[in-house]
Amino acid sequence: MKTMLKDVMLAAFALALCAAPAVADDVKAGDLVISQAWSRATPGGAKVAGGYLTIENKGTAPDKLVSVSADIAGKAEVHEMAMDNGVMKMRPLDKGLVIDPGKTVKLAPGGYHLMLQELKGPFKQGDKVPVTLEFEKAGKVAVSLDVQGVGAQAPGDGGHMMKKMPDHSGMKM
């Protein structure tokens, strides 16, 4: 009985290790630390995907995310979703996104995010999608987005949580 319980516990532990999602490594660029970079799998034929990550400024001066690019997308922009008179609107941040010193900015569903448009192929769960972020001071920074499940709300979610915000990954622009 004791041996069987031990075998079951070992098997459960091994299964948990295999099921654990890969998490993107932190990327350091100057005074910035970029972490938790992820995206969602896209349904067949989708031409748009969002990218999400966290940027921490450990320095004493502000920096600004001025642009994003990705080989898999014909067009990539930094976007903001915000309520305007009771209507959720999405718009590009043409002047960039400031990361103040000592602050952390989270790009997440329903707020600031990377908008990857004119996709040249689907994002599949488990993929790593390379993107290049360009900052005013830190310069160009290569980051990989870990692709989670279609309905994921956070890195490592795998798409199992219920959606809280509209998903625009299947939206045509």
pLDDT at 84: 86
Task: Give the pTM.
Answer: 0.77
In a domain? residue 111: yes
| Domain CATH code at residue 90 | 2.60.40.1890
In a domain? residue 73: yes
- Number of domains composing the chain: 1
In a domain? residue 7: no
pLDDT at 157: 65
pLDDT at 121: 94
Residues near 39 by beta carbon (within 8 Å), at least 6 away in sequence: 49, 50, 51, 52, 116, 123, 129, 145, 146, 147, 148
In a domain? residue 159: no
pLDDT at 21: 41
At 16, is the secondary structure helix, strand, or coil? helix
In a domain? residue 71: yes
In a domain? residue 168: no
Among 169, 140, 142, residue whose Cα is nearest residue 25: 142
Among 120, 39, 110, 47, residue whose Cα is nearest residue 79: 110
In a domain? residue 162: no
Domain range holding 79? 23-148
Burial label, 90 (beta-carbon count in 10 A; 0-12, 13-18, 19+): middle
pLDDT per residue of the chain (173 residues) written in tens, 0 to 9 = 544 434 433 333 333 333 334 445 799 999 999 999 999 999 988 999 999 999 999 999 999 999 999 999 999 999 999 888 989 899 999 999 999 999 999 999 999 999 999 999 999 999 999 999 999 999 999 999 999 998 888 887 655 443 334 445 444 44
In a domain? residue 85: yes
